[in-house]
Chains A and B, each alone.
Chain A
């Protein structure tokens, strides 16, 4: 088990390295730089800026010193555009926000999705089942950039219950709409997976046996059906989590939460090389970590898996 984890972590290093080099080259090959602006800068000012941010160095040197900065000092450098901030500061400000609403959304999606899916399966072919299927199919195809403005119109403009945007850690009323917008479609996906795998498990031999033995229905479900039915849900969680981080772009744009999703898109548009690299690496590392965690949980639930 430990060997397995170490092996996986060992792959993480070349992965991140590849990601760094790839994004770095992609970025530098793109037209326009961080200091391209409407008023073309005097040559000397541009030279000064390039010197200040090390852009006058050969590319390989820039990559090397960038990687060295991260490895040696955990320093992702200064932002090229938000000039009084470093990348570390920008991430330190935005990431906890994204992680908070992302994490809450994730939990909501899993809990609600699993419950909805399980109930639908148990009440197979009843009105509850149809309702659950309808909700989950509908929610999956409704883009969250359609849902977000509707939420604000309903909850802020018409009802006046919730703030229309912004972020406060101390006040969960700011969290509600971002969480709804972000979690709904994942909740629906999870519900669908859960429903079908639960149905399969309920029809399988060992459940039939358990029922035949006369065990009460809810105990069969709790003790025997739920755990195996969860397996496909768990393998979906890795990709879902990454997609949620990406989806945070929309949340940040509509709810002005100040998270890293918007920071990433802005940095790409502004050619803010340092912030862009920083966020990409962060999300890459999270992806690796999360996939690993999911695999470990998977192995822990499914005894058939050996490392």
Chain B
């Protein structure tokens, strides 16, 4: 997103600061029962904003705490605790003006100092947060040195000018900085509470939050209960009075319980969307979701010789029949992908990628040629392994890939392992092909593209390309980075270090009487305060 548009969008919002919270159209008859029950696949690992690392944990945290900005149903940022901000000429100092009426659940005002404490805490090595790198990603001054223990946390580039003015200095201009503030790890926390209770501060009886809901019960791996908070600044407009999250480890079981009326929202298992859409047209939904699914190829020294040949990499990518994966396996409105960045990412212009436009026959033809050139074919087969972590969907796609490659003389041995082993092997370049997926941290293409720079910590296939690095560096300060992103994607398409497979969709069953969930937000960020249940 361009700097100018970001600012003008904010200016608009400041002019009309009441256009959010549950936006109930006039004449709507609300149900008496304003409770919302949603599904969690797993136990919530932590309710501490600076410790949490999971998407599911973030869904809970957004209701218990509130950061500087929130997202609306379209994924645009709207004021949260911050009403607005000013940006210095050089684009590196942000001054946030905090909402004076925002208070904690014990009635004390939310101050700039609470943010300073939280942000320092995230970077502080003593906290040992697995998300400490997020402060670095935000380019906050001294963040990396603090995390490395070279500077004290107090040197972080964030300070409270007064109770309601927060100043942040960053190391380079970052056009998408405000978007990043929606993330849970930047939420404020109370120093006095944390110091008093230690790790126990997230227990329902101890927790003090500033969100629209308060935590009333958390049984690990079973349920989370949240009540509407009366102290929340926009409590008058919050309609939903109670939120419940139920952990159900088995997706099929989750669906059965949804159909029995125990849940208002649940994920649809792969392959079931078409049937459910037919039977429950008002409930089955599929919306783009900012994650991208690929097979990473190992180009490092430890990798197989064949994969160092761009012809082989291209051939494999061409031979992957994405339409079958999307239409016959997943069947949930996912998009087949020929590039890395999710197609619906804000501001991202899809690059022109040649093979995306070909038919599968053309791709197969080309793949056969390229493999032949590289010296492989049914007479001289190429043996590779494909690693994937345990999951019904990954398994199905891997089996299909094995079948796609077989006619080309590429024998894929499937290697299913546990998540931790899989990750460990990837990080040690101990693989040929490996399943990989990345979900955007924020709604901007760099969250994807930064990953394949040579200095990225996640470039497990060791794709090193100077031109690519230069483009990504340039994009950080460019006035309009989008053309650079497009060029970067084209390098990926011509070097093919990965086999893009599909772009995610969030495929859900949602009770037809629940309204206010985001419909155009590719991050799928939702807030309980925006929801309401209509009378049926």
The interface of chain A, by Cβ under 8 A from chain B, is: 30-33, 35-42, 44-45, 48-49, 51-52, 78, 81-86, 90, 93-94, 149, 152-153, 156-157, 160, 163-167, 252-254, 256-258, 262-263, 266, 269-271
Check B378 for interface membership: any CB of A closer than 8 A.
no
A149 & B252 in contact (Cβ 8 Å cutoff) = yes
CB distance from A136 to the nearest CB of B (A): 28
B423 interface residue (CB < 8 Å to A): yes
Residues of A with C-beta under 8 A to B136: 42
Contact with A258, one of B128, B221, B420, B423 (Cβ below 8 angstroms): B221
CA of A252 to CA of B458, assembled, Å: 34
Contact with A along B424-438 (1 / 0, CB 8 A): 110100000000001
Mark B40-56 against chain A: 1 for CB-CB distance below 8 A, else 0. Answer: 00110111100101000
CB pair B133 A39 closer than 8 Å: yes
Q: Does B132 contact A (CB under 8 A)?
A: yes
Whether B253 contacts A149 by the Cβ 8 Å rule is yes
Q: Are A36 and B128 in contact (CB under 8 A)?
A: no
Residue in B128, B203, B418 with the greatest tally of chain A CB atoms within 10 Å:
B128
**Which among B19-27, B255-263, B271-279, B400-408 touches the partner chain?**
B255-263
Indicate the member of B43, B148, B247 with the most A CB atoms within 10 Å.
B43
A263 touches B221 (CB 8 A): yes
For the side of the interface on B, what is the size category? 35 or more
Distance to closest chain A CB from B134 (angstroms): 10
Within 8 A of A (CB), among B29-78: 42-43, 45-48, 51, 53
A sample of 23 cross-chain residue pairs with beta-carbon separation below 8 angstroms, ordered by A number, consists of A31-B420, A36-B423, A36-B427, A37-B130, A39-B457, A40-B427, A42-B133, A45-B129, A45-B147, A48-B125, A48-B128, A48-B147, A82-B45, A149-B253, A157-B259, A157-B260, A164-B256, A164-B260, A167-B222, A252-B249, A257-B222, A269-B418, A271-B420
The answer to the question of B419 belonging to the interface, with a C-beta cut-off of 8 Å to chain A, is yes
Q: A42-B144, A157-B260 are in contact. List 7 more A-B contacts (CB 8 A).
A: A44-B148, A45-B133, A48-B147, A93-B220, A160-B260, A167-B222, A252-B221
Contact present for A153 and B132 (CB under 8 Å): no
- Compute how far the CA of A236 lies from the CA of B253 in the bound complex, rounded to whole angstroms: 33
Write the chain B residue with the least CB distance to A167: B222
CB <8 Å contact, A152 and B125: no
What is the CA–CA distance of A262 and B262 in the complex, to the nearest angstrom? Answer: 22
How many angstroms between the C-alpha atoms of A154 and B401 in the bound complex?
37
Complex Cα distance, B253 from A97, in Å, reads: 20
Asked whether A93 and B200 contact (CB < 8 A) given A39-B133, A42-B133, A153-B256, the answer is no
CA distance A276 to B423 in the complex (A): 20
B425 pairs with A31, CB closer than 8 A: yes
Could you say which residues of chain A place their CB within 8 Å of the CB of B128? Answer: 45, 48-49, 51-52
Task: Check A156/B257 contact, CB under 8 A, given A37-B53, A42-B147.
Answer: yes
| Binary per-residue interface labels of chain B (342-377) against chain A in the complex, 1 for a CB within 8 Å, 0 otherwise | 000000000000000000000000000000000000
Interface: B223 (CB within 8 A) = yes
Does B423 contact A165, Cβ atoms closer than 8 Å? no
Are B45 and A83 in contact (CB-based, < 8 A)?
Answer: yes
A278 CB to nearest B CB, Å: 14
B421 CB-CB contact with A under 8 Å? yes
Nearest-CB distance from A39 to chain B (Å)? Answer: 6
A-B Cβ contacts below 8 A, count: 150
Contact A164 B132 (CB under 8 A): no
| A166 partner residues in chain B, CB cutoff 8 A | 222-223, 246
**Interface status of B16 (Cβ within 8 A of chain A):** no
| Interface membership of B250, Cβ < 8 A | yes
Q: How far is the CA of A45 from the CA of B262 in the complex (A)?
A: 41
CB distance from A256 to the nearest CB of B (A): 5
Q: Evaluate contact between A41 and B148: CB separation under 8 angstroms.
A: no
**With contact pairs A42-B133, A82-B45, A157-B256 given, residues A94 and B420 touching in the complex (Cβ less than 8 Å):** no
Contact assessment for B247 and A256 in the assembled complex, using a CB-CB cutoff below 8 Å: yes
Give the complex CA separation of A48 and B149 in angstroms. 9
Residue of B48, B220, B256, B427 touching A149 (CB-CB under 8 A): B256
Chain B minimum-CB-distance residue to A53: B128
Q: Is the CB of B457 within 8 A of A45?
A: no
Q: How far is the CA of A69 from the CA of B88 in the complex (A)?
A: 54
Task: Write the chain A residue with the least CB distance to B134.
Answer: A39
Given known A-B contacts A36-B420, A166-B222, A256-B249, A156 and B256 have beta carbons under 8 A apart: yes
Binary per-residue interface labels of chain B (137-152) against chain A in the complex, 1 for a CB within 8 Å, 0 otherwise? 0000000100111000
The residue in chain A whose Cβ has the minimal distance to the Cβ of B150 is A44
Q: Give Cα distance in the complex from A163 to B125, angstroms.
A: 45
Q: Is the CB of A253 within 8 A of B219?
A: no
**B260 engages A258 (CB within 8 Å):** no
B126: CB under 8 A from chain A? yes
Nearest 7 pairs of A and B residues by beta carbon: A32-B420, A258-B222, A32-B424, A164-B257, A48-B128, A44-B148, A31-B424
CB of B249 within 8 A of CB of A262, answer: yes
Query: Nearest CB to that of B207 among chain A residues?
Result: A84
Say yes or no: A36 contacts B147, CB within 8 Å. Answer: no
B48 touches A83 (CB 8 A): yes
Q: Is there a chain A Cβ closer than 8 Å to B15's Cβ?
A: no
The answer to whether B43 and A82 touch across the interface, beta carbons within 8 angstroms, is yes
Interface positions of B from 92 to 136, Cβ below 8 Å from A: 125-126, 128-130, 132-133, 136
